[in-house]
Amino acid sequence: MLGRFPSGVSVVTTRAADGTDQGMTVSAFSSVSLEPPLILICIEKSASAHGALTTANGFVVNVLSAKQEQVARRFAIVDIDRFEGVGFTRSSQGFAILDDVLAVIECDRVSMFDGGDHTIILGEVETTRADNGTPLLYYRGGYAQLEH
């Protein structure tokens, strides 16, 4: 039933305590508040990036464009270096900003809530950047694009 609700697709990036880059594909992203500007992401507790996302000071939500289905797939593959061969720059806090994304939302981590087998992470938006283009969509277990 939830698959009937279409979403965008993002790659959330942060850094582990040892400085290594961490990133994972995330569709459970939502706006929460305008004042202050808050967003949330829901991260599975067993995800390899869960530890870093719940301890780092913040994270970046990279909103993927329609041309980035391969990036979405790559950042959900288990046991590979997901950043290998992927171009990126760094945010002011040092988190990876992937090349050619539709939007960049850099957040400070401000709260966390238990959400069953996921952790709900609330971020306060610090910086944003938006580029022109069309979004990658996820619907009923598959990738899709806007028709126009």
Ligand X SMILES: Cc1cc2nc3c(=O)[nH]c(=O)nc-3n(C[C@H](O)[C@H](O)[C@H](O)COP(=O)(O)O)c2cc1C
- Residues forming contacts to ligand X in the complex (CB under 6 A) are 9, 24-28, 42-44, 47-48, 72, 76, 78, 138
Decide if 32 contacts 40 (C-beta within 8 A). Answer: yes
Question: Smaller CB distance to ligand X: residue 35 or 121?
Answer: 121
Question: Smaller CB distance to ligand X: residue 35 or 61?
Answer: 61
Question: Smaller CB distance to ligand X: residue 9 or 98?
Answer: 9
Q: How far is the CB of 66 from ligand X (least distance, A)?
A: 14
Q: How far is the CB of 102 from ligand X (least distance, A)?
A: 15
CA-to-CA separations, 35 to 31, 57, 94, 107, 108, in angstroms, rounded: 11, 20, 25, 14, 15
Q: How far is the CB of 45 from ligand X (least distance, A)?
A: 8
CA-to-CA separations, 115 to 68, 91, 107, 127, 132, in angstroms, rounded: 29, 28, 20, 27, 34
**Tokens describing residue 98:** 């992937």
DSSP state, residue 135? B
Q: How far is the CB of 5 from ligand X (least distance, A)?
A: 12
